[in-house]
Structure 1
């Protein structure tokens, strides 16, 4: 007879544990550890993410209520003081490394983006997470405000974060884009990246051009240029201009000496006129506009993360504790994405998150709950008989 584990145990099977143990050895994360290993900390953080627990005492109490089910999770004991020390001292890099291992696994099952062209499509942006300056003095942003900034490269194939880095909130977006070598690793030749005007740096854009990467961004009003000629005859009534341009300011021209393409597009719903800059001379002007419009998906992604993952209240005040929790939250997001694409689940990630939270410590197979909905999930009960209270 097949032994049925809990839903949490089913989720842990998806993690590449062998790779995680290699990361633990690489960063010596279990050095001076008596029993509370990096894997046990991952189990604890995953449980806290699923259950929405935002305090050490709450995690200790909630896990303690299910101590009879720990045998298959790899947990031995959980004390809030032990978890607090682990969040402070165990390097967050092991969870960052796990994130990229899971990302490779997700890419094997994710669908292609909705556009007809085959080029990989990315969007890049950043979001700020506010922190209390008195509790997080290392995260100084303004005189009386603390924050950290999360920079994402968003892959439209599967709606996945292909790259993520966390910096202080003062760090400008384009400085991160120019300094991160890992970003160059993901932007291969023939890739397309859409960015907003915060990334309009001609030196960086020309580095993309030299690597064979296409970009689409918004133009600024103060850009001075001359028209080098019409790109193609205009066939779309929403497109008012489609021209080749050359920069005329000497400093800008040194940074980007080649011709650019300027597309003026009128939104049919709002009537607002947008000007886009790109180095792609092949795609239709309406497709260029649609590529930039699809950049809104990364804003929805940021909104989903802040509403559904525990990345606004933290289990520790040190920088290492904050980063550990954020990377663990992102691992959980990839876990949800993998389940959705691997099983062809038709519901939203939000509904899937709620269903898993409802039965996380019940002894069921993960595949069984995917057929539930928000109404039927309330009827799910642990099949193991429980002792009655008298």
Structure 2
């Protein structure tokens, strides 16, 4: 007897499945496929992410134990781990990369009016990379060190909603700063980066594209002071200067003036120096912007803890990228559901609830908005030190 949609099916309803079909058609994903389609593959992998499955055998056992519900989940064939493994190995990972990017665009529109707590109308991005260690003998394509393999997840995070707007998956050898070459700078936007992205030639390209950046200065920075503005030292500010670079290479690569701001963090007893090409916003706002850069660190920590990207279901480059992109799409899907249904619970709480109720038929908005005091708690993990 029909009693309503499964929670899993209700969550999938928030996906633009017509876009998924277009992505599949673009890369001939279902070519020569008789039974286990790309849509079935996506649903199985999304199920694995939502319910914390650890292996293909785990996915097979759990789904076949609920075989009478597979049709209502949108899965049209029986699940076999060999079939799913073959699909992950052979079906183009770009299908799921493009689909995830379309979800990101939907989520960014939903979160466009989010309040950052700063008096800024500009879009603010945080750029960073996270390394996922792998076994060299099992993943020989993911070169990192002589005895280690790894993949790097380079992410540009839109801080309004913590939605990844750009993701690049590379082997472990690609230096973080090289990803700046892949970005299309957005005029008027702020890009917050750490010292690892110090490359004045690339930063000057951001400046010429009319984008702004905030970066921590290295201790060996060579410069001369051009002008100093008064600061309120009670706020922790120590100086607000206009400087010119004097290093042989840095002066050639960045010939324009820069703004140098020194800040004392009383909590950690550290003195921090920031560089930016924006001369109009208050100096204290520059320091606050850099604090927000830690949101991208928390994003990496969150997806590593709550999504399945530390242990992979396949060993080929295609299988790894397929799993990562589907994990990202599930993260964005949960963010979309949270916004569309106006759910006060954190993403962590929503994932925990979904993981236990995926085969239930309770309405999704009722399930996620019940007045449970635990649901309103944020991620229980400790906040990272902002200026380490």
TM-score range, shorter chain: over 0.9
- Shift, 1:273, TM fit: 0.4
Look up the SS of the partner of 1:32 in the other structure: coil
Q: How many residues align?
A: 371
SS of the equivalent of 2:13 reads helix
What is the match of residue 124 of structure 2? 121
Q: Distance in 2 between matches of 1:92 and 1:281?
A: 43
The match for 1:235 is 232
CA contact (8 A) 1:236 1:286 kept: no
Contact persistence 1:133–1:145 (CA under 8 A): yes
Q: 2:169 aligns with which of 158, 166, 171?
A: 166
Deviates more, 1:300-309 or 1:103-112: 103-112
Q: Deviations along 1:206-249, whole A, 9 cap, x unmatched?
A: 0011011111001111111111111x221243111111110112
Query: Does the 8 Å contact 2:262/2:271 carry over to 1?
Result: yes
1:344 offset after TM fit, Å? Answer: 1.9
Q: Tell me how far 1:373 sits from its aligned partner.
A: 6.5
Q: Map 1:114-263 to 2 at 5 A.
A: 114-178=117-181, 180=182, 183-184=183-184, 187-230=185-228, 232-237=229-234, 238-263=236-261
Matched residues in 2 for 1:65 and 1:12: separation?
Answer: 21
Equivalent residue for 1:267, pick from 265, 282, 285? 265
Partner SS state of residue 87, structure 2: helix
- Give the secondary-structure state (helix, strand or coil) at the position aligned to 1:331: helix
Aligned to 1:107: 108
- Provide the secondary structure at the position in 2 that maps to 1:29: coil
Deviations 1:280-320 (A, max 9, x none): 10111111111111111111111111100000111111111
CA separation in 1, counterparts of 2:3 and 2:198?
56
- Asked if structure 2 preserves the Cα contact closer than 8 Å seen for 1:227 and 1:243, the reply is yes
The 8 Å contact of residues 29 and 91 in structure 1, kept in 2 or not, is answered as yes
Deviations 1:157-199 (A, max 9, x none): 1111111000111110111212x1xx21xx3111001100111
CA distance in 1 between counterparts of 2:371 and 2:318 reads 38
Are 1:328 and 2:329 an aligned pair?
no
Report the secondary structure of 2:149's partner residue: strand
Structure 1: tracts of 5 or more residues without a match: 378-390
Residues 351 and 374, structure 1, Cα contact 8 Å, conserved in 2: no
Q: Does 1:46 pair with 2:49? A: no
Which residue does 1:342 correspond to in 2?
340
CA contact (8 A) 1:355 1:374 kept: no
Once residues 349 and 64 of structure 2 are traced to their aligned partners in structure 1, the CA distance between those partners, rounded to angstroms, is 27
Alignment of 1:2-41 (within 5 A): 4-41=4-41
TM-score, length basis structure 1: 0.92
User: Take 1:36 and 1:4, find their aligned partners in 2: how far apart are those partners?
Assistant: 25
By how many angstroms is 1:86 displaced?
0.3
Question: What is the CA–CA distance in structure 2 between the aligned matches of 1:353 and 1:127, rounded to whole Å?
Answer: 22
Contact 1:113 1:121 in 2 (8 A): no
- Whole-angstrom distance in 2 between the partners of 1:376 and 1:221: 45
Q: Is the deviation greater in 206-215 or in 367-376?
A: 367-376
Aligned partner of 2:82 in structure 1 is: 81
- Any idea what the Cα deviations from partners look like across 1:306-351, whole Å, max 9, x if unmatched? 1000001111111111110110011110011111122221121111
Could you report, residue by residue, the CA deviation over 1:256-296 in whole angstroms, capped at 9, with x for unpaired residues? 01000110000121221001011010111111111111111
Q: Which runs of 5+ in 2 are unaligned?
A: 376-388
Once the two structures are superposed, residues 8-58 of structure 1 have per-residue CA deviations (whole angstroms, 9 ceiling, x without a partner) of 111111111111111111000111111111100000001111111121111
Deviates more, 1:358-367 or 1:208-217: 358-367
Out of 260-269 and 112-121, give the one that drifted further.
Answer: 112-121
Q: Residue 285 of structure 1 corresponds to which residue in structure 2?
A: 283
Q: CA deviation at 1:71?
A: 2.0
2:91 paired with 1:90: yes
When normalised by structure 2's length, the TM-score is 0.92
Please name the residue that 2:298 is paired with.
300
Three-state SS of the structure 2 residue aligned to 1:175 is helix
Structure 2: how far apart are the matches of 1:202 and 1:114? 30
Question: What's the CA shift string for 1:77-129, capped at 9, x where partnerless?
Answer: 21111101101000110110111111121122212422111010011000000
CA distance in 1, matches of 2:266, 2:97: 42
- Which residue does the alignment assign to 1:55? 55
